[in-house]
């Protein structure tokens, strides 16, 4: 991991090299992990993510020609597009689609978006399930709102960024990632009600408790994650319809058994059980954190993992191996974080045991013949912001 200064310097250097001159400013947005509450966001439920100290930085300036030019470290040449491409979802693809999607969402909401030149650098790894796409969306949104002097309070940014992802890029995600990277606060986890968008900043001061969150990048190869995610979402929507509720969030924990009895296939029953019990685990985690009992959330994290593995069926062998090895090395709890089928695991550990847990996971991987995992200890960081 490199410092925020380095990534900002890379964005500025990219801007100077591609466009000449100085950017008008630099805007940053982080990646995220989700402490608990997986696949609950699109079921109108509860999530508890936090923003990471890894950031994406956009160096940008307005352009008079009313067009957008975007360069990223991921590519040699900038991608250029105008209103015609921005107004037609799908016309811009690859990583630049997240930028075009933001322009599209702003325009669709009636805003006059200034043309701009943008240079993007990032420390958020792509494809690791740490929301590199939401980080791009949020940083670009922050830049365009300010460059254009748009009247758009930050509370409304997550929904717009989600629309960019859903309707321009075509990924049917919920609102968790965009909320985490926009509304996250240093030292806190973001308790979000995905139906009302009400948030509560929950103190999560790992350092003061002598604890750390170890993030383990499973490095598992991509396994049809997009199609499986969409299938899970469909299955939840069908179940809600069958149960006569607006969303699975409306099935109370106490009514779960009765609801399951009304469903006629086992797979759907297990999907529903995951979502309903996961919502409850989020609420229980929040209660413990409000009481300052951070260590005690460990079993809830581990139970969440079991539910994702057995009921929602979104884990893979590398992920399960990382969780089991972390627990065997005395993590308080461990679970996959994010959409699934690869990505990252998080483990709650004593700060002075983080290296030993990371070593144990690496050794378990070697035993199984898996590509070595990446590991990183993190603390909750702040959300999207202007740097200077």
Binding range to ligand GAF, per CB under 6 A, among 80-88, 98-106, 171-179, 357-365: 171-179
Q: By the 8 A CB rule, do 337 and 34 touch? A: yes
Residue 342 touching ligand GAF (CB under 6 A): no
Among 56, 166, 173, 218, indicate the residue that binds ligand GAF (CB under 6 A): 173
Interaction with ligand GAF in 26-55: which residues (CB under 6 A)?
A: 34, 38-39, 41-42
Residue 278 touching ligand GAF (CB under 6 A): no
Measured distance CA(273)–CA(259) in Å, rounded: 9
Hey, is 336 helix, strand or coil? strand
Q: What angle do CA 31, 37, 39 make, to 5 degrees?
A: 85
The strand ranges marked E within 90-196 are 116-122, 188-193
Binding range to ligand GAF, per CB under 6 A, among 116-124, 174-182, 252-260, 283-291: 174-182
Residue 248 touching ligand GAF (CB under 6 A): no
Residue 123 touching ligand GAF (CB under 6 A): no
Residue 132 touching ligand GAF (CB under 6 A): no
- Minimum Å gap between C-beta 49 and ligand GAF is 9
**In whole angstroms, how large is the CA radius of gyration of the chain?**
21
End-to-end CA distance of the chain: 22
Distance of alpha carbon 125 from its chain centroid, rounded? 12
Binding range to ligand GAF, per CB under 6 A, among 5-13, 106-114, 170-178, 279-287: 170-178
What is the edge-to-edge ordering of all strands in the sheet holding 46-47?
Answer: 46-47, 188-193, 199-203
Among 67, 78, 97, 95, CA closest to 14: 78
Q: Residues, the chain, total?
A: 388
The binding track of 321-340 with respect to ligand GAF, each residue x by CB under 6 A or -, is -----------------xx-
Residue 281 touching ligand GAF (CB under 6 A): no
Q: By the 8 A CB rule, do 34 and 84 touch? A: no
Residue 205 is a catalytic residue: no
How many positions of this chain bind ligand GAF (CB under 6 A)? 11
Catalytic residues: 177
Residues near ligand GAF, by CB under 6 A: 34, 38-39, 41-42, 173-174, 176-177, 338-339
């Amino acid at each position: 991991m490199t410092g925020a200064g380095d990534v900002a310097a890379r964005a500025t250097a990219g801007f100077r090299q591609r466009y000449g001159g100085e950017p008008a400013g630099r805007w940053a947005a982080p990646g995220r992990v989700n402490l608990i509450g997986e696949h609950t966001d699109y079921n109108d439920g509860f999530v508890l993510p936090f923003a990471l100290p890894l950031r994406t930085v956009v160096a940008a300036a307005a352009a008079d020609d009313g067009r957008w030019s975007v360069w990223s470290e991921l590519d040699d040449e900038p991608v250029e597009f105008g209103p015609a491409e921005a107004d037609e979802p799908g016309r811009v693809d690859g990583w630049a689609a997240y930028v075009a999607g933001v322009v599209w969402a702003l325009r669709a909401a009636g805003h006059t978006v200034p043309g701009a030149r943008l240079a993007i650098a990032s420390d958020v790894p792509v494809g690791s399930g740490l929301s590199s796409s939401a980080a791009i969306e949020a940083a670009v949104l922050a830049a365009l709102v300010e460059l254009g002097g748009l009247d758009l309070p930050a509370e409304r940014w997550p929904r717009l960024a989600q629309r960019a992802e859903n309707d321009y890029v075509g990924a049917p995600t919920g609102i968790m990632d965009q909320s985490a990277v926009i509304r996250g606060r240093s030292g806190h986890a973001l308790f979000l009600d995905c139906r009302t968008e009400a948030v509560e900043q929950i103190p999560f001061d790992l350092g003061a408790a002598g604890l750390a969150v170890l993030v383990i990048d499973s490095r598992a190869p991509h396994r049809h994650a997009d199609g499986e995610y969409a299938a899970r979402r469909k299955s939840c929507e069908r179940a809600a319809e069958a149960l006569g509720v607006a969303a699975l969030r409306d099935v109370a924990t106490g009514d779960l058994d009765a609801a399951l009895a009304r469903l006629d296939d086992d797979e759907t029953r297990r999907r529903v059980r995951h979502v309903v019990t996961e919502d409850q685990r989020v609420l229980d985690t929040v209660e413990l954190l409000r009481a300052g009992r951070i260590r005690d959330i460990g079993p809830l994290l581990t139970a969440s993992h079991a539910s994702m593995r057995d009921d929602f069926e979104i884990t893979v062998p590398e992920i399960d191996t990382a969780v089991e090895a972390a627990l065997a090395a005395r993590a308080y709890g461990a679970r996959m974080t994010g959409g699934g089928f690869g990505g990252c695991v998080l483990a709650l550990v004593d700060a002075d045991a983080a290296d030993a847990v990371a070593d144990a996971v690496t050794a378990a991987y070697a035993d199984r013949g898996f590509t070595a995992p990446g590991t990183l200890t993190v603390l909750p960081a702040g959300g999207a912001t202007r740097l200077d």
